[in-house]
Chain A
Amino acid sequence: MITDNNQERTRNDPPEVLGRVGLLKDAKYYLDMCEFEPKKAPQIPMGRFFKPILNQFEAFQPPLVPETPQNIITPSKEVAEYDARQQAVTELKPASVPVSSEVAQYEASVRAARQQVAAAESEVAVSPEVAEYAASVGDSAAGYVQPTETLSSESSELDQDAILASIYKMHDGKTQDGSIF
């Protein structure tokens, strides 16, 4: 029943044939629609929409941060007055503080007494025995302790070995559990 007209053919072909034709069309459709490949990310038209935005981000430069924030902060009148007072207080020196005449007289007497004590100490006389003993002992008389030969490094190592042996019970350079110390 082959004619040039598809509608004519569908009317004359047996239903089994039409059934197979429809089934094969469906099979082709399902195969084409089957997404057995991983989906690809959609292509974004970067040049048209997003590139200008990206260019703006790239061209953006952050403003310079002032090194001293005080330069851009204007204090209030009260704060400025307080800062001025604090500055004046810190710049005060003891010499500039006026004192009363009684205090000045007292300080002068103290200074004179200290000078007299210093002069008296330098003129203290010692007995001949004391002077002779001081000359014989030299610097050791001043109480300094000089290092001696008995504190050599060798003796200190011996002491350390003895201490370690007493702690770890060493035998032939090994500890009791056999590990090399």
Chain B
Amino acid sequence: MFQKLLHGITGQRSEQRHADLYRNLIRHEARIGSTVFGPVPKGHRREFFCLDARTWVWHEEWKDDKGKYQIRTTRYDVRPDGILKSQNGHYQKVPVAEAKRLRQAANVYIDRVNHEMYNGLIA
């Protein structure tokens, strides 16, 4: 019984450890991704990362002129026939020019995390 309980606790800890490691990898990628678009303005917090194979996230936080805290999270859903952008629950198709810039940014992102984190494992 004790062995079973201990095994469950260690199993939960192992799963938790794996999940924490995965999240840390994403956080680190997001910091690298924040510099893909150039220097981040003062007072802004920016993250750009790959959430899953078909989803890219651009998260931005800042304070406006009135000192009010603003958060904007944009999700790009890559589909075979185009890219959909979701902001505050509203979906819209990404124009070709914006889709081209997103693909360029994603390629820079992949190249940088490949060299800075994964040592060229991404062929």
Using CB atoms and an 8 Å cutoff, list the residues of chain A in contact with chain B.
2, 6, 9-10, 13-21, 23-28, 30-38
**In contact, B22 and A30 (Cβ under 8 angstroms):** no
Instruction: Report the separation of the CA atoms of residues A6 and B121 in the bound assembly, to the nearest whole angstrom.
Output: 7
A26 partner, pick from B22, B53, B56, beta carbons under 8 A? B53
Using CB atoms and an 8 Å cutoff, list the residues of chain B in contact with chain A.
18, 21-22, 25-26, 29, 50, 52-54, 56, 78-83, 94, 96, 99-100, 102-103, 106-107, 110, 113-114, 118-119, 121-123
**In contact, B25 and A16 (Cβ under 8 angstroms):** yes
A-B contacts, 7 listed (Cβ < 8 Å)? A9-B119, A9-B121, A23-B50, A32-B103, A35-B80, A36-B83, A37-B99
**In contact, A16 and B53 (Cβ under 8 angstroms):** no
**In contact, B83 and A25 (Cβ under 8 angstroms):** no
**In contact, B118 and A20 (Cβ under 8 angstroms):** yes
B80 partner, pick from A13, A14, A21, A33, beta carbons under 8 A? A33
Instruction: Report the separation of the CA atoms of residues A33 and B81 in the bound assembly, to the nearest whole angstrom.
Output: 9
How many inter-chain contacts with C-beta < 8 Å in the A-B complex? 80
Residues of B within 8 A of A9 (CB): 119, 121
Closest CB of chain A to B20's CB: distance in Å?
9
**In contact, B118 and A17 (Cβ under 8 angstroms):** yes
Closest CB of chain A to B100's CB: distance in Å?
8
A30 partner, pick from B25, B26, B78, beta carbons under 8 A? B78
A24 partner, pick from B54, B78, B113, beta carbons under 8 A? B113
**In contact, B25 and A20 (Cβ under 8 angstroms):** yes
Instruction: Report the separation of the CA atoms of residues A130 and B18 in the bound assembly, to the nearest whole angstrom.
Output: 147
Instruction: Report the separation of the CA atoms of residues A34 and B82 in the bound assembly, to the nearest whole angstrom.
Output: 6
Instruction: Report the separation of the CA atoms of residues A18 and B25 in the bound assembly, to the nearest whole angstrom.
Output: 11
Instruction: Report the separation of the CA atoms of residues A20 and B31 in the bound assembly, to the nearest whole angstrom.
Output: 15
Residues of A within 8 A of B50 (CB): 23-24, 27
